[in-house]
Structure 1
Amino acid sequence: MKLLLTAAGVKNPSIKDALVDLLGKPIADSDALCIPTAGYGHPMVSPVRAWSFISGQEPRCPMTELGWKSVGVLELTALPSLDKENWVRWVQETDVLLVNGGDALYLCHWMRESGLADLIPSLDDKVWVGLSAGSMVMTPRIGDDFVQWKSPTGNDNTLGIVDFSIFPHLDGFPENSLAEATRWAAEIGNPSYAIDDETAIKVVDGKVEVISEGHWKQFD
């Protein structure tokens, strides 16, 4: 997949331009599926926030409200009860997956349980736009600081689609300071980035590019 990993959605023109480049066509000509699942796993997130994400009523984290040709909802917790051929076809026929924030370990669990994680290697022409946890799930691990929901695996490992970890919302909260990000990076055990809400990481065929109108820091 082509990845656009953000902390807070498509927040500025630079990130939007990167999205259009990944799509290869205008947003108005592109079909999207949004995945709200991560929002249910975090103790600070409510069903209202899930509705805001799905309905495009979350201006702090623009995702579904960008003017898509169509937007559907792909709820991962429902997929195991559905005919797999149906939902796989839905994913294969869309242009982009818009993945909500919340809890990265909860999202990772349901990506594996639903079978979506197994499908990802075959989706070379699709775009994944992650918002916070929706971005972190693609990394090797999230670090103990971001563990809220306890995974059955007992660790903080995520999908490892990319080889770096992400510390989101840099300086967006007191606990997300650069000092805290530096400490987190020293403990994570692999390359990592701290990104603010005006920054995204674009990944295509293993090539990593930082898109930013804000500030960020790379840790080796």
Structure 2
Amino acid sequence: MKYLLTSAGIQNKSIHTTLIELLGKPIAEANALCIPTAIYPFPGGPAMAYRFISGTSASPMCALGWKSLGVLELTALPSIKREVWTAAVQEADALLVFGGDVWYLCRWMRESGLADLLPSLRDTVYVGVSAGSMVTAPIFGETYDEPSAPFVIDAGLGLVDFALVPHMDHENHPESSAAKVGRMAAEVPVPTYGIDDQTAIKVADGAVEVVSEGRWKLFTP
């Protein structure tokens, strides 16, 4: 699988160009499935999910001009025949994984069976936003409930071999200041990327590349 792990979606030309490179074709010729699951635990979650799906959110990945776009709701998958939803996933060129509650997303990635399927999708592009990016790591830290509290460290899906903290130094995300990211990174055994909203991490064929028109920092264990 190929990964484009963003903080806030496709926010600039560099990230947009990288998405096209990973797809290997124009967006207008690619089929995508969007996954809004992580946003539901937040206040106003259903409305934010609609804005994401309709392409009217601050991360308008669903409005990039895809050939086709579907919705994959992870909480519904255990009640559906596996061969039905796996066929839809296997036919998609891209999975657009929205942000929100990383613990909730991690839980449903596992319980739905999608986490087990992802490593077999060699040509599919996984495009993460915020928590949708964080969940791919072997370990993550989060403080949504109390930004001034220490990061709580937990196990991610291990799809990539580094950790990632989005929204670094964003005024609305005091929990993601560079200083706090550095303190969290000191507690985990893998490299940690702190990235701002103009930055993404590209992973293809095991090679990791930072794509940025903003600020980022790599913290090593």
Taking structure 2 as the reference length, the TM-score comes to 0.92
Q: 2: CA distance between counterparts of 1:134 and 1:199?
A: 15
4+ runs deviating over 6 angstroms: none
Q: 2-side partners of 1:56 and 1:115: how far apart?
A: 27
Which consecutive unaligned segments of at least 5 residues does structure 1 have? 149-153
Deviation digits for residues 44-93 of structure 1 (CA, Å, limit 9, x no counterpart): 552111111011111x2121011111110000000000111110100111
State whether structure 2 residue 50 is matched by structure 1 residue 51. Answer: yes
SS, match of residue 124 in structure 1: coil
Q: Give the 5 Å matches for 1:64-213.
A: 64-145=62-143, 156-172=154-170, 173-213=173-213
Work out the CA distance in 1 between the residues paired with 2:208 and 2:142.
25
Question: Quick one: distance in 2 between partners of 1:7 and 1:136?
Answer: 9
Contact 1:32–1:96 (8 Å) recurs in 2 = yes
TM-score of the superposed pair, with normalisation by structure 1: 0.92
Q: C-alpha deviations, 1:118-144, integer Å up to 9, x for none?
A: 111210010000000000110011125
Return closer, same or farther for 1:16/1:164 CA change in 2, 3 Å cut-off. same
SS at match of 1:188: coil
Q: Percent identity of the aligned residues?
A: 60
Distance 1:177-1:144 versus aligned 2 partners, 3 A rule: closer
Secondary structure at the counterpart of residue 155 of structure 2: coil
How many pairs does the alignment contain?
Answer: 213
Provide closer, same or farther for how the CA distance between residues 200 and 155 of structure 1 changes in structure 2, counting only shifts above 3 A: closer
CA distance in 2, matches of 1:147, 1:121: 31
- C-alpha distance in structure 2 between counterparts of 1:82 and 1:139, whole Å: 27
Q: State the alpha-carbon separation in 2 of the partners of residues 12 and 44 from structure 1.
A: 28
Alpha-carbon distance in 2 for matches of 1:54, 1:115: 22
SS at match of 1:68: coil
Post-superposition offset of 1:184: 1.6
- Confirm or deny: 8 A CA contact 1:34 1:99 kept in the other structure: yes
* RMSD between aligned residues: 1.6
> In the alignment, residue 97 of structure 2 is paired with which amino acid?
V
Per the alignment, residue 218 of structure 1 pairs with 218
Q: Gaps (5+ residues) in structure 2?
A: 147-151
CA distance in structure 2 between the aligned counterparts of 1:145 and 1:86, rounded to whole angstroms? 36
> Relative to 1, partners in 2 of residues 1:147 and 1:123: Cα closer, same or farther, differing over 3 Å?
farther
